[in-house]
């Protein structure tokens, strides 16, 4: 069987082990760096043993995508992050520093069975943190569904030889809150230990996040090909090449990675390089179809396939893919725009309704009525492990309910324009939901727009008769000086609900 055919038949990635940050038994600012350093070095040890692992960078990306704050994680939020990363096991733990002694206590949480293992404990001098983390990684790997791919002796021969000061500087970098401090401290770690490849990978990630793409590429280029960090480094180099427009080089790099292992993210980024490179033959959509076959519910892959098909001149195929993208991510503004463009290219009658969706859900794009294929709408996947945010599992009504909740939080903070924007989007997605129109009415009323409030209240009552809502309508009519109409509505309310105080006040007031 050829390598190409084997690649086409590539199995989905094995579930990963998510390493969570270790918490202190007793908070001490002097040792705040220990937890981040220990968890990252443990994750590296698991990677050496051949266990698929999701480390700190992937966890932070998932937290950001799920809009979870950077605080200590609860069991529930940890499981949400694990689900998004395709991890079926979590490593949780604590650390304690007493004098010069360090104790790590870890547990394995099976996300599918919700079962917790007995503690795995390792103790030793604080200065041996690197060796302790590497050693305990072997115990975790033995309990994995993916057993270590080497002997114990071979595993321990690959433990990193790092000075304590380098490990401490690295941990302090991970614990720092300011980007400048993170960069300075991780560079300190590398100055102390130039062979500290995990720190060099972190530096490359930080430089990329800071927009220093060429510097990130050169930094990552110094990571050797035979270390656990090599593939992640090459992948990030490809991202940097795409960001600076070196498309042909990016295409070759991702093609090389695909020869080793085909993943949806590699195929996606290779396709984006092909799409924009005048030097490359072939169709980006062919690569993206393979990526979508491997991850059929991933909204960004579906979007990129639709965008590539439109750029390549296949408006019908673009429409099909974009409809799937919109189904999985109803609030995606660019997907709405590209779907409308695909319909316009076909000359179908559905274009008008598609463009109304753009105006309602993505007003910033409402001037782009004509397709502009020079725009770089394509989406780079920044890390090889895809995020599954389960957006496809939510109906438009469920998405609308989420927007209403967000709007209510904005109202509580006094941000009425922001609340109005969220509710307008919710009304487009679920136009017959009484609750959406009720909230819109209350925001309009708070802004002094009584006529708009009245319109929304009538829409809410059309969707669902409710004496309390009708009493609210009567009150707004009274405020607007439409006393006769207000009395009529109040009388209707009292027939259905004789004890309604709002309606009674409307009738009693002059």
The backbone torsions φ and ψ at residue 226, rounded to the nearest 5 degrees and listed phi first, read -110, 25
pLDDT, position 12: 52
pTM: 0.80
pLDDT at 210: 94
Quick one: pLDDT at residue 398?
76
| Residue ranges per structural domain of the chain | 16-159, 284-393, 396-508
Residue 363, pLDDT score: 84
Q: How far is CA 416 from CA 69, 80, 281, 407, 409, in A?
A: 24, 31, 51, 8, 10
Q: Rounded to whole angstroms, what are the CA distances from 102 to 12, 25, 72, 131?
A: 39, 11, 21, 12
CATH for 16-159?
3.40.50.10070
Tokens of 198: 């995990």
Q: Give residue-wise pLDDT tens across range 30-40.
A: 999 999 999 99
Q: Helical H runs in 228-373?
A: 230-243, 247-260, 264-276, 284-294, 299-311, 315-328, 333-346, 351-361
Round to whole Å and give the CA distance between 237 and 254.
10
Long-range CB pairs of 125-128 (<8 Å, 24+ gap) are 125/100, 125/101, 126/34, 126/97, 126/100, 126/101, 126/102, 126/164, 127/100, 127/164, 128/102
Give the pLDDT of residue 241.
Answer: 97
Q: Are 228 and 46 in contact (CB under 8 A)?
A: no
Q: How many CB atoms lie within 10 A of CB 447?
A: 14
Q: Are strands 101-110 and 87-98 parallel, antiparallel or unpaired?
A: antiparallel
Q: Which CATH fold would you assign to the domain 284-393?
A: 1.25.40
Q: 396-508: what fold?
A: 1.25.40
CB proximity list for 232: less than 8 A, separation 6 or greater: 201, 383, 384
> Are 16-159 and 396-508 the same fold in CATH?
no
Do residues 503 and 490 touch, judged by C-beta distance below 8 A?
yes
Low-confidence ranges of the chain (pLDDT < 70): 1-14, 70-71, 280-281, 390-394
């Amino acid at each position: 069987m050829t390598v190409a055919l084997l690649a086409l038949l590539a199995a989905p990635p094995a579930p990963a082990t998510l390493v969570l940050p270790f918490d202190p038994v007793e908070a001490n600012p002097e040792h705040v760096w220990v937890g981040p350093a220990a968890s990252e070095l443990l994750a590296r040890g698991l990677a050496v043993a051949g266990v698929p692992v999701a480390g700190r960078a992937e966890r932070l990306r998932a937290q950001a995508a799920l809009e979870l704050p950077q605080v200590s994680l609860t069991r529930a939020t940890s499981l949400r992050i694990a689900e998004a990363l395709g991890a079926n096991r979590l490593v949780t733990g604590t650390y304690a520093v007493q004098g010069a002694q360090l104790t790590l206590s870890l547990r394995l949480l099976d996300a599918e069975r919700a079962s917790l293992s007995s503690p795995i404990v390792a103790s030793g001098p604080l200065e041996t943190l690197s060796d302790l983390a590497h050693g305990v990684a072997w115990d975790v790997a033995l309990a994995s569904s993916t057993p270590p791919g080497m002997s114990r002796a071979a595993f321990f021969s690959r433990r990193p030889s790092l000075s304590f000061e380098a490990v401490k500087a690295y941990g302090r970098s991970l614990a720092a809150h300011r980007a400048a401090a993170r960069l300075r401290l991780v560079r300190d770690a590398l100055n102390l230990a130039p062979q500290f490849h995990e720190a060099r990978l972190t530096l490359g990630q930080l430089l990329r996040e800071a927009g220093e793409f060429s510097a990130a590429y050169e930094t990552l280029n110094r990571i050797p090909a035979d270390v656990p960090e090599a593939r992640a480094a090459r992948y990030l180099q490809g991202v940097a090449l795409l960001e600076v427009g070196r498309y042909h080089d990016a295409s070759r790099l991702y093609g090389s990675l695909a020869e080793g292992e085909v993943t949806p993210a590699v195929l996606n980024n290779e396709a984006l390089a092909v799409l924009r490179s005048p030097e490359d033959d072939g169709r980006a959509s062919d690569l993206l179809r393979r990526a979508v076959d491997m991850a059929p519910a991933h909204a960004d892959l579906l979007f990129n396939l639709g965008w590539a098909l439109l750029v390549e001149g296949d408006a019908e195929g673009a429409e099909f893919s974009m409809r799937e993208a919109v189904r999985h991510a109803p609030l995606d503004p660019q997907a709405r725009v590209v779907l409308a463009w695909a319909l316009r290219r076909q000359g179908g009658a559905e274009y008008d309704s598609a463009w109304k969706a753009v105006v309602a859900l993505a007003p910033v794009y409402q001037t782009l009525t004509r397709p502009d294929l020079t725009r770089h709408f394509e989406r780079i996947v920044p890390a090889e492990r895809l995020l599954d945010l389960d957006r496809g599992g939510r109906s438009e009504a469920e998405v609308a309910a989420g927007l209403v909740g967000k709007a209510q939080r904005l109202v509580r903070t006094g941000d009425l324009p922001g609340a109005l924007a969220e509710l307008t989007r919710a009304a487009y997605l679920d136009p017959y939901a009484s609750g959406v129109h009720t909230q819109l009415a209350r925001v309009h009323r708070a802004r002094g727009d009584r006529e708009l409030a009245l319109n929304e209240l009538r829409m809410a009552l059309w969707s669902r008769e409710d004496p309390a809502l009708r009493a609210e309508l009567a009150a707004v009519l009274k405020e607007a000086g439409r006393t006769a109409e207000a009395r009529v509505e109040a009388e209707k309310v009292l027939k259905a609900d004789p004890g309604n105080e709002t309606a009674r006040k409307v009738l009693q007031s002059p």
